[in-house]
Structures are given as C-alpha cells and as structure tokens.
C-alpha cells in the first residue's frame, strides 16, 4: 500500500477509538492504551471483515470505525475486569485454604 492509503485506512479506527473514549471513565493512560489497541485491531481487521461482511462493496471505512469503537470498549472493559478481579487477594485466599 502507498503510505497515504495506509493512513486513510487507519483513520476510521482511530476516530472510532477516540469516540469510544468519550464514554469511558477510566484512567488516561489506560484510555490511551485501549485506543491504540482499538486502532490497531481496526487497521488490521477492517478490510478482511468488510470483505467477509459485504463482498464487493466498499465498507472498509465504516467497518474500521465500528471495530475501533468496539475494540476500544472491549479493551477498557478488560482493564476494569483485571482490576476488579484482585488476583493477589484471591490467590492468597486459595493458598490459605490449601494450607500453604
């Protein structure tokens, strides 16, 4: 691909991730990491997913935007779940039950 075309393909996912950031109340560093992840998923998955969804129709930009939004939202939810899981406490309780 020509660099300008690559940038044009990446823009919808970036915009989708930024739009998803507006509804998240997470920490700024996590939001940036999730936005980068959402943009990356969009960049690499938009064309194959668009071709599978609507063969012969140019919907890559729209699909890229949606993938950016949903991948960013999923990334933010993964961070929240990891934080709520409290692995240290759970692992300590599990080891205590086994007498370690």
pLDDT band for position 56 (cuts 50, 70, 90): confident
The predicted pLDDT at position 82 comes to 80
- Alpha-carbon gap, residue 20 to 31, rounded angstroms: 9
Give mean pLDDT, residues 63-82.
Answer: 84
pLDDT at 84 over 60: yes
Hey, what are 83's tokens?
Answer: 């934080």
Q: Do 66 and 39 form a contact (C-beta atoms < 8 A)?
A: no
Q: Name the residue with tokens 């990891």.
A: 82
> Rounded to whole angstroms, how far apart are CA atoms 77 and 61?
24
Indicate the domain borders of the chain.
3-97
What tens digit of pLDDT does each residue of 1-43 get? 556 777 777 888 888 888 888 887 778 888 888 888 888 888 8
Three-state DSSP class for residue 57:
coil
Mean of the per-residue pLDDT values of the chain? 84
Q: Are residues 73 and 30 in contact, defined by beta-carbon separation less than 8 angstroms?
A: no
């Amino acid at each position: 691909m020509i660099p300008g075309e690559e940038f044009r393909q990446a823009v919808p996912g970036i915009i989708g991730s930024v739009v998803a950031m507006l509804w998240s109340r997470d920490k700024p560093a996590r939001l940036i990491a999730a936005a980068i992840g959402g943009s990356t998923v969009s960049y690499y998955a938009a064309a194959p997913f668009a071709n599978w969804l609507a063969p012969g129709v140019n919907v890559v930009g729209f699909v890229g935007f949606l993938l950016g939004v949903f991948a960013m939202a999923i990334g933010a939810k993964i961070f929240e779940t990891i934080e709520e899981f409290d692995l240290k406490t759970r692992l300590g309780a599990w080891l205590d039950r086994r007498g370690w």
